[in-house]
Structure 1
Amino acid sequence: MRWPRRLFGSVRARAALGATLVVALALVVAGAAVLFALRATLTDQAGTQAESAARKVASQLAANVPYRDLEWPDSEDHPVQVVDGDGRVVAVSEDLERISGTGSDQVRPDSAAGGGGSEGDGDEDDDGGKDEGKDGDDSLKPGEIDDDAHFSDGSATVDGDTADYRFAAVEVNVESKGDLTVYAGAPLDTEQSAVATALTAMLIGFPLLLAVIAAVTWLVTRRALRPVDAIRGEMAAITASEDLARRVPEPDTHDEVARLARTTNETLAALEASVERQRRFVADASHELRSPIASLRTQLEVGAAHPELLDVEGAVEDTVRLQELAADLLLLARLDAGEKPGEGRVDVAALAREELSQRAGDRVEVRQRLDGPLEVAGSRGQLARVLGNLVNNAQRHARSQVTVTARAEDGWAVLAVADDGSGVPDAERERIFERFVRLDDARSRDDGGAGLGLAIARDVATGHAGTLTVRQAPSGGALFELRLPLVRPGV
């Protein structure tokens, strides 16, 4: 059925159900403990009363009071039975009609034992076949009453009324009768009534208490989750409108819901910035691609109409520029998609030496100070692209020389490219790593490039768990430093 799924699919319902079940379990355990403790306490009280009645009768027997002269306690509250050492009933209290849970179920004195009933049909001269005492350390002496009592549960019928009793058995040694056991009972109706009353109260009160707890938990959880509903509603509206400038409401609290709202807004802000960056990237890429394509088309159209006017060198330059721009855009797309640099090992110093040896026709001289080996983990092709972009950038701004150095420093491989140009202003040292950014807007695209080289270099450095920064070089120009973690020996 769908409605139970919907009901218990709610956090409020699950919280209310969970709290109710936990409290119900606690109430059952606590209620059972209370009932057991109440029953044990009242049973012990009944046992104490029964023992007191049994000792009163035992005291009379120890004083050689004849059976017929015994003073019985209230027979309805304390039925009494006296049994000799052979298990024969020698005396019972008045109006006792039935008994169980004692030494014998007889309710009439056994004539063979020489005992008497409640009317006292025996005398103290009958020794009942017993000696004055028993041999052994545990035997009672004449006139002595055992300090220990034994308890049992049973029932008795007195004057037509049947009830449950707690019986206490007390042994006494009578000089003329030997060992006798006095069984006296105390009614358990108080214990049964109290337990029944407590159980009834629990059966009525516990469901009401659980209903209150479930309702309170539902209401409290509903109020606590109200901001979550507001967040969910706003997120649904943002999804429907695709307006990433909107934000979810942040409750004026310091709990998990408030932190969720703040984190959600931070995520929306980051997503908005990412989408905006992608839009600018697409717009700038379209603009950058439009120029060489338009130039190339113009030249081809002129060449088709007037072959003698075709600028082959210009067409080749535009084609090369278009090819390089397309390669840069594809690399940025792969980096944005999270392409991993791989697990290869690259010696940065050897890489720089090899790449610089293949450069020809540079505008200014490139000096080298390469200390190696400097082994790092990553992609050789991407690191070579970073070095090439940094050297190309330095070549465009240097006056007379470019210096490339490689060294180890505190567990890092440091590859530095410096020039003696005009440098980078402090306020622009982070902006130059943004895509399609040119500090000299008046510079032609042919001389300045598309503004993607440093952005690619920064992204590659980040992908290799490194950094790329710029500061002022000793010669006054710009000093770019690529820092990559060195591979530990044996790893």
Structure 2
Amino acid sequence: MRRLFGSVRARATLGATLVVAVALVAAGTAVLLSLRSNLIGEAGTQAERSARAVASALALRPGYDHLPGLDGDHEPVQVVDEDGRLVAASEDLERISGTGTDAVKPRPPAATGPGDEDDASSDPGADPDDDGDDALEPGEIDKRTTFTNGSATIDGETADYRFAEVAVETEDRGRLTVYAGAPLAAEHGAVRTALTVMLIGFPLLLGVVAGVTWLVTRRALRPVEGIRREMAAITASQDLARRVPEPDTHDEVARLARTTNETLAALEASVERQRRFVADASHELRSPIASLRTQLEVAAAHPGLLDLEGAVEDTVRLQRLAADLLLLARLDAGERPAPDARVDLAGLAREEAAGRDGVTVDAEPVDVAGSRGQLGRLLANLLDNAQRHARAAVTVTVRREGDRAVLGVADDGDGVPEADRERIFERFVRLDAARSRDDGGAGLGLAIARDVAVRHGGTLTAGAAPAGGALFELRLPAV
């Protein structure tokens, strides 16, 4: 059961069925109440019509003979005087309830006796003192009508009735009250029929709703299941080159598939970049380690042949490469500088340029937020690259442009071809494949510089210097 209702399709079907069921119950209840109210209203109208017809006859002629509705009409009618005695009633009336009196046999006023007084005093509908407030003229019929529900037995048949109570003032008999009933059989039959139809039709309708919802939901979720199966296959095979199927629709499922494929593409690129980084790092580390080992082995066999200066250079190179790889790893992990640290970019440029041959600085004071160590490493990498390719001079400039601090490093070398101005920021990329590693480095300096710039909310781009060489511009938010 838990597995069944753990699916979106089952929950959607159950939810839709419950909502429709509640709506059907509410609508059915409203229909039944409205139908019952209308039919009871029609029965009341019919009863009032009969009661007023009898009241009109009483107001126009004396006596109780030949009153309408009393001669075998199979509808209960009672006439009660102001003392609560039944003075006229329908033929074959055997029992009645819901009116002012339950008497069924008329008793003329002249036959008043102790028992009649008891009946009058016990009759809940009799109120001899009630005409003080509702005085009617002789021959006048009260405009008000009171309705009640009850039952009556006529000629052995018992049924429910809607009774109308109407008062009439006569000249010779005082105030009389007429009770006339209309059968509620039509109301009961119609309500029972409607209820039966609902009890049969509602479950069938709910079944149709559940089935349609189940089929529609299955069709709507079929692409999702395809995405899930493909993702499971990708996880099992670890083949990030595969993609999930994208439906031809423009709904949420299609957007989910496109986003999933974009995520897979980014993950594939990240894994490939990491794999290439590990391979390149291993390759770069292999050379200085092999060189250092060779020198140490030669020194162990022939101490006099030890190239101490070369061993130190290889060790320093290995140390720098390890430091570069460690910094890249921290940057890849999302390390960001403290936002409240302030760095004087002009002062930092002068510090890094100090002691370097052919490097001049033209800087105005501009403060930026970030890590002094990482920004110093960025500037040092740019200066190392510029000195490596410059013929004679390297120029460092610092200025403010609006809300940005701009640091430029320009050389007078051959420059960077326009087609390679983005590729040089990739890791382990060296444009001059023929130069030695000692001259060209490992190809990590510019990659580190750009990563540091991005982590500080800035940009680092390569362009052409006025002197014809390369120009690297760092733009950071100024404080």
TM-score range, shorter chain: over 0.9
Secondary structure of the corresponding residue to residue 263 of structure 1: helix
Amino acid at match of 1:178: G
Gaps of 5+ in 2: 113-127
Percent same amino acid among aligned pairs?
A: 71
User: Structure 1 480/77 Cα, relative in aligned 2: closer, same or farther at 3 Å?
Assistant: farther
For residues 267 and 18 of structure 1, what CA distance do their matches in structure 2 show?
Answer: 33
Amino acid at match of 1:375: V
Matched with 1:127 is: none
Shift of 1:134: 5.8
Matched with 1:282 is: 278
Correspondence list, 1:300-319, <5 A: 300-319=296-315
Q: Which one of 196, 200, 203 corresponds to residue 200 of structure 1?
A: 196
Amino acid at match of 2:91: E
Matched with 2:161 is: 165
Shift of 1:73: 5.6
Secondary structure of the corresponding residue to residue 147 of structure 1: coil
Shift of 1:302: 1.2
Is contact 2:349–2:379 with CA below 8 Å preserved after alignment? no
Matched with 1:413 is: 405
Gaps of 5+ in 1: 116-129
Is contact 2:48–2:165 with CA below 8 Å preserved after alignment? yes
Per-residue CA deviation, residues 99-147 of structure 1 (Å, 9 max, x unaligned), is 11111222222444779xxxxxxxxxxxxxx99x9666x5221111122
Shift of 1:371: 2.1
Shift of 1:149: 1.4
For residues 353 and 272 of structure 1, what CA distance do their matches in structure 2 show?
Answer: 39
User: Structure 1 77/478 Cα, relative in aligned 2: closer, same or farther at 3 Å?
Assistant: farther
For residues 281 and 71 of structure 2, what CA distance do their matches in structure 1 show?
Answer: 111
Matched with 2:208 is: 212
For residues 397 and 85 of structure 1, what CA distance do their matches in structure 2 show?
Answer: 128
User: Structure 1 351/90 Cα, relative in aligned 2: closer, same or farther at 3 Å?
Assistant: farther
Q: Which one of 457, 470, 477 corresponds to residue 469 of structure 2?
A: 477
Amino acid at match of 1:418: A
For residues 71 and 390 of structure 2, what CA distance do their matches in structure 1 show?
Answer: 123
Matched with 1:34 is: 31
For residues 406 and 78 of structure 2, what CA distance do their matches in structure 1 show?
Answer: 106
Q: Which one of 94, 98, 118 corresponds to residue 95 of structure 2?
A: 98
Matched with 1:45 is: 42
Amino acid at match of 2:95: R
Is contact 2:366–2:405 with CA below 8 Å preserved after alignment? no
Matched with 1:370 is: 363
Matched with 2:423 is: 431
Q: Which one of 447, 469, 478 corresponds to residue 455 of structure 1?
A: 447
Is contact 1:90–1:114 with CA below 8 Å preserved after alignment? no
User: Structure 1 339/75 Cα, relative in aligned 2: closer, same or farther at 3 Å?
Assistant: farther
Correspondence list, 1:1-40, <5 A: 4-40=1-37
Amino acid at match of 2:205: L
Secondary structure of the corresponding residue to residue 375 of structure 2: helix
User: Structure 1 77/249 Cα, relative in aligned 2: closer, same or farther at 3 Å?
Assistant: farther
For residues 442 and 110 of structure 2, what CA distance do their matches in structure 1 show?
Answer: 127
Matched with 2:124 is: none
Deviates more, 1:78-87 or 1:188-197: 78-87
User: Structure 1 400/167 Cα, relative in aligned 2: closer, same or farther at 3 Å?
Assistant: same
Secondary structure of the corresponding residue to residue 8 of structure 1: coil
Shift of 1:160: 1.4
Secondary structure of the corresponding residue to residue 339 of structure 2: coil
For residues 56 and 76 of structure 1, what CA distance do their matches in structure 2 show?
Answer: 13
Matched with 1:125 is: none
Correspondence list, 1:336-351, <5 A: 336-351=332-347
Is contact 1:77–1:186 with CA below 8 Å preserved after alignment? no
For residues 419 and 114 of structure 1, what CA distance do their matches in structure 2 show?
Answer: 138
Say if 2:59 is the partner of 1:67. no
Matched with 2:122 is: none
Matched with 1:122 is: none
Secondary structure of the corresponding residue to residue 2 of structure 2: helix
Amino acid at match of 1:368: V
Amino acid at match of 2:39: L
Is contact 1:89–1:106 with CA below 8 Å preserved after alignment? yes
Correspondence list, 1:394-409, <5 A: 394-409=386-401
Amino acid at match of 1:480: F
> How many residues get paired?
466
Q: Which one of 358, 375, 380 corresponds to residue 388 of structure 1?
A: 380
Shift of 1:343: 3.0
Aligned-residue CA RMSD in angstroms? Answer: 2.2
Amino acid at match of 1:94: E
For residues 208 and 265 of structure 2, what CA distance do their matches in structure 1 show?
Answer: 43
Secondary structure of the corresponding residue to residue 87 of structure 1: coil
For residues 57 and 245 of structure 1, what CA distance do their matches in structure 2 show?
Answer: 96
Secondary structure of the corresponding residue to residue 148 of structure 2: strand
For residues 110 and 223 of structure 2, what CA distance do their matches in structure 1 show?
Answer: 88
Say if 2:185 is the partner of 1:189. yes
Is contact 1:99–1:157 with CA below 8 Å preserved after alignment? yes
Per-residue CA deviation, residues 372-399 of structure 1 (Å, 9 max, x unaligned), is 24232x2222122111111211111222
Per-residue CA deviation, residues 142-171 of structure 1 (Å, 9 max, x unaligned), is 111122211111111111111111111112
For residues 354 and 75 of structure 1, what CA distance do their matches in structure 2 show?
Answer: 125
For residues 50 and 110 of structure 2, what CA distance do their matches in structure 1 show?
Answer: 23
Secondary structure of the corresponding residue to residue 36 of structure 1: helix
User: Structure 1 61/469 Cα, relative in aligned 2: closer, same or farther at 3 Å?
Assistant: same
Q: Which one of 245, 255, 258 corresponds to residue 259 of structure 1?
A: 255
Shift of 1:348: 3.6
Runs of 4+ with >6 A deviation: none
Correspondence list, 1:237-252, <5 A: 237-252=233-248
Provide the TM-score with structure 2 as the length reference: 0.92
Per-residue CA deviation, residues 225-249 of structure 1 (Å, 9 max, x unaligned), is 1111111111111111111111111
For residues 372 and 162 of structure 1, what CA distance do their matches in structure 2 show?
Answer: 109
Matched with 1:56 is: 53
For residues 186 and 383 of structure 2, what CA distance do their matches in structure 1 show?
Answer: 102
Is contact 2:458–2:477 with CA below 8 Å preserved after alignment? yes
Matched with 1:120 is: none
For residues 320 and 169 of structure 1, what CA distance do their matches in structure 2 show?
Answer: 117
Is contact 1:411–1:485 with CA below 8 Å preserved after alignment? yes
Amino acid at match of 2:287: S
Deviates more, 1:233-242 or 1:285-294: 233-242
Shift of 1:328: 0.6
Secondary structure of the corresponding residue to residue 470 of structure 1: strand
Amino acid at match of 1:264: T
Secondary structure of the corresponding residue to residue 7 of structure 1: coil
Amino acid at match of 2:275: R
